[in-house]
Amino acid sequence: MQNYRRKYEDCLRRVQKPARYIGNEFGSVHKEKTDDMMTFAFCFPDVYEVGMSHLGMKILYHMLNERDDTICERVFAPWDDMEQEMRKNGIPLLSMESCSPVGGFDIVGFTLQYEMSYSNVVNMLDLAGIPLRTSERGSGDPFICCGGPCAYHAEPLAELVDFFILGEGEEVNGEIMDVYKEWRGSGKDRDEFLMSLVGLGGIYVPKFYDVEYNDDNTIKRFEPNRPGVPKQVRKRIITDFDNCYAPEKLVVPFMETVHDRIMLEIFRGCIRGCRFCQAGYIYRPVRERSVKRLTGIAENCIRNTGYEEMSLSSLSTSDYTQRQDLIDDLLDITVDKRINLSLPSLRVDNFSMELMEKIQKVKKSGLTFAPEAGTQRLRDVINKNVLESDLIRTSKIAFGGGYNRIKLYFMLGLPTETYDDVLGIAELAKKVIDEGFFTIPPEKRKGRSVSITVSTSFFVPKPFTPFQWEPQDLISEMEAKAKYLKENIRSKKIVYNWHNSDISLLEAVFAKGDRRLGEVLITAHSLGCKFDGWSDFFDYDKWIEAFKANNIDPAFYANRRIGYDEILPWDYADIGVPKSFFIKEHKRAYEGKTTPDCREKCSGCGAASFGGGVCFE
């Protein structure tokens, strides 16, 4: 082990950003390993500065380390230069804290935040020297598990992963360690451990299910292959979110990370039900933390980290019911200490002048709004309750208040979209300038000029949304729409940029794919695919080669309209919202009918069965 450390240290001399690999940050947890301790390698399948920006990892890392019987260490994907050094010098994937080989841990857990990190999961297993397929692993190998939002539809990883954790790790991870403790040394085999996990609920073990296919490649049968395994695994969530664990000590990185600040999680879930948004359904129901608890956490985090910035984290910050009180209380504890408070994810419709002035007291940055679609018709289809008049009114307030940069996010390729809807994006952006800025009398304008950035991404139909049955636009259609939009944006004050279309296709394939894609992943890895979320690495041609080599047509997954009665590869997961609700919502979308948010009126989505949150407010 010491051996690796010396070689590893020396590699760092030859790589960019060596601070990615040094560990020993303030707040990192270093425990003495004794024989009776269990070890958990918490892997983030992306580079350090991305992984360290992720709140979920911080929570679970500290929570597992609070146990006396468990050591949890962090692992990140080494950047390409470091990977090459490691492979050249025979160094396997190592953990941050003790520089221990990941293959020697008891449990290796990956968090799956986005589909495009799957190739990194494969690469990290390979670099760790862990056999890639579950069927190839034996008694000397660790158990590989995955959690995070993609775990609800991670069939493409079914051949590689021993078990998936469905739901919130805070609720389940401790129990997993308890089961492991019992199992270890009991002489029982690996399957018996996995069977005990199944008993906890919220654990999906893909090898305990058999899948058969029809001639047209759709799924014929998806059934448990042994007694005691449920047909559907129900997610596990925290019902008492106000009193659940929240870390008050954090690891403070040396290098700048993507979100280099305290992230205060004010609630989980979202009351809205935007029909394209998976997060809006899988985290149901909304559960809030109280102002009192939040200020307590904030005070401790400030004391324990020394961070100069704090942001409120949630899917839609301005939906927090006690937002005025919370912001007042937080400003009380941050202003004197020169700590910036930033509020992301503001919604247009309930954005108030007062709220904005309060933030301004501390920091004024650009504002971001996400109308998602350019016309009211299409916004109704996707259930994004943003009115044009709201957006213009808010822009006016913002421009009048001294903001001079507004970013607008849209999606291209949404179900039912026409070229009029695409044109609507250009028109809406223009109106924000004409009516939001030019109607302000020149003497009252702060700042000489304003700019609008319009960003579009391509719609990716996601499992557990009303649009899960929808086909994605073909790449040619996506590009034609982006081009059309570009031609129709003529103002110099509007900047337009759009995301890559190839990658959106891959995202759709892996979001909706089945377990036959496991071999595609393995082939893609052998062709050198990794860091697919990074444009410097993403190589579409290699992926196409990998699909061809395995005789798989990506269009089958991405561009096909799926029937309501088809068995879906993610039917194994029960997120609390049944398919019938999504069918109802899908039909309403086509009728252009909106659905009220949870606080306006409950639409009976099913999530009330968890017995907490907004459903009982």
Partner 1 sequence: MSKRRLAFSKLNMAKYISHLDLLRCFTRAIMRAELPVVYSQGFNPHQKMTFSLPLSVGVTSSREFADIEFEDGISDSDIMKRLNLTLPPDIRILSVGAPEISANDIFAAEYEVTILSDSHCAELPDACKKFFAQPEVAIIKRTKKKGEQELNLMDFVESAEGFRECGDDARFSLTLSAGGQKNLKPEIAVEALIDHLSSQTDIKITGYNIHRTKILYDKNEPKEFN
Q: CA–CA distance from 339 to each of 4, 184, 261, 262, 512 (Å)?
A: 40, 47, 10, 10, 42
Residue from the set 195, 211, 433, 614 that interacts with ligand SF4 by CB under 6 A: 614
| Nearest distance, CB of residue 302 and partner 1, angstroms | 8
415 in Cβ contact with 447 (< 8 Å): no
Nearer to partner 1, 12 or 37 (CB): 12
**Is the link from the previous residue into 285 a cis peptide, with omega within 30 of 0?**
yes
Q: CA–CA distance from 530 to each of 122, 293, 373, 562 (Å)?
A: 9, 41, 32, 29
Does 594 bind ligand SF4 (CB under 6 A)? Our answer is no
Does 608 bind ligand SF4 (CB under 6 A)? Our answer is yes
Q: Determine the interface stretch with ligand SF4 among 129-137, 192-200, 289-297, 601-609 (rule: CB under 6 A).
A: 601-609
Does 304 bind partner 1 (CB under 8 A)? Our answer is yes
Does 305 bind partner 1 (CB under 8 A)? Our answer is yes
Nearer to partner 1, 22 or 494 (CB): 22
| Nearest distance, CB of residue 270 and ligand SF4, angstroms | 9
Does 598 bind ligand SF4 (CB under 6 A)? Our answer is yes
Give dist(CA 583, CA 467) in Å, integer: 9
Does 252 bind partner 1 (CB under 8 A)? Our answer is yes
Nearer to partner 1, 260 or 435 (CB): 260
Does 608 bind partner 1 (CB under 8 A)? Our answer is no
How many residues bind ligand SF4 (CB under 6 A)? The answer is 11
* SS3 of residue 270 by DSSP: coil
Residue from the set 86, 297, 330, 607 that interacts with ligand SF4 by CB under 6 A: 607
| Nearest distance, CB of residue 243 and ligand SF4, angstroms | 20
CB count in 10 Å sphere of residue 497: 10
User: Going by DSSP bridges, is the β-strand pair 143-147/573-574 parallel, antiparallel, or unpaired?
Assistant: unpaired
Does 332 bind partner 1 (CB under 8 A)? Our answer is no
Does 26 bind partner 1 (CB under 8 A)? Our answer is yes
Write the interaction track for ligand SF4 spanning residues 228-267; mark x where CB under 6 A is met and - where it is not.
----------------------------------------
Q: Determine the interface stretch with ligand SF4 among 72-80, 275-283, 417-425, 596-604 (rule: CB under 6 A).
A: 596-604
Residue from the set 133, 188, 292, 337 that interacts with partner 1 by CB under 8 A: 337
Give dist(CA 589, CA 266) in Å, integer: 30
Does 254 bind partner 1 (CB under 8 A)? Our answer is yes
Q: Which residues contact 156 (CB under 8 A, 6 or more apart)?
A: 115, 118, 510, 513, 514, 515, 517, 518, 520, 521
Does 199 bind partner 1 (CB under 8 A)? Our answer is no
Q: What are phi and psi of 400, to 5 degrees?
A: -65, -30
Give dist(CA 296, CA 312) in Å, integer: 14
For 425-485, give the DSSP string: HHHHHHHHHHTTTTTS-GGG-SSS--EEEEEEEE----TTSTTTTPPPPPHHHHHHHHHHH
Q: Please report which helix (H) or strand (E) contains residue 123, including its range.
A: helix 118-128
| Nearest distance, CB of residue 606 and ligand SF4, angstroms | 6
What's the distance, Cα to Cα, between the start and end of the chain in Å?
54
CA count, 13 A, side-chain hemisphere, 485: 31
Nearer to ligand SF4, 277 or 356 (CB): 277
| Nearest distance, CB of residue 286 and partner 1, angstroms | 33
With CB under 5 to 8 Å by kind, the binding choice for 527 among ligand SF4, partner 1, none is none
Residue from the set 306, 366, 447, 611 that interacts with partner 1 by CB under 8 A: 306
Does 360 bind partner 1 (CB under 8 A)? Our answer is no
User: Going by DSSP bridges, is the β-strand pair 309-313/340-342 parallel, antiparallel, or unpaired?
Assistant: parallel
Nearer to partner 1, 10 or 357 (CB): 10
Q: What are phi and psi of 75, to 5 degrees?
A: -140, 135
Does 279 bind ligand SF4 (CB under 6 A)? Our answer is no
113 in Cβ contact with 132 (< 8 Å): no
Does 303 bind partner 1 (CB under 8 A)? Our answer is yes
With CB under 5 to 8 Å by kind, the binding choice for 592 among ligand SF4, partner 1, none is none
Does 247 bind partner 1 (CB under 8 A)? Our answer is no
Residue from the set 67, 191, 307, 409 that interacts with partner 1 by CB under 8 A: 307
| Nearest distance, CB of residue 562 and partner 1, angstroms | 49
Any long-range contacts for 434-437 (C-beta under 8 Å, 24+ apart)?
435/392, 435/395, 435/396, 436/391, 436/392, 436/394, 436/395, 436/396, 436/398, 436/399, 437/395, 437/396, 437/399
The tokens for 194 are 């996995």
Nearer to ligand SF4, 247 or 285 (CB): 285
CA torsion through residues 100, 103, 104, 108, sign: positive
208 in Cβ contact with 229 (< 8 Å): yes
CB count in 10 Å sphere of residue 132: 18
With CB under 5 to 8 Å by kind, the binding choice for 284 among ligand SF4, partner 1, none is ligand SF4
Give dist(CA 40, CA 179) in Å, integer: 13
Q: Please report which helix (H) or strand (E) contains residue 523, including its range.
A: helix 517-526
* SS3 of residue 228 by DSSP: coil
| Nearest distance, CB of residue 598 and ligand SF4, angstroms | 3
With CB under 5 to 8 Å by kind, the binding choice for 337 among ligand SF4, partner 1, none is partner 1
With CB under 5 to 8 Å by kind, the binding choice for 616 among ligand SF4, partner 1, none is none
Nearer to ligand SF4, 224 or 612 (CB): 612
CB count in 10 Å sphere of residue 204: 27
Does 285 bind ligand SF4 (CB under 6 A)? Our answer is yes
Residue from the set 5, 407, 602, 612 that interacts with ligand SF4 by CB under 6 A: 602
Interface contacts to partner 1, rule CB under 8 A: 6, 9-10, 12-13, 18-19, 21-26, 252, 254-256, 302-308, 337-338
Interface contacts to ligand SF4, rule CB under 6 A: 284-285, 598, 602-605, 607-608, 614-615
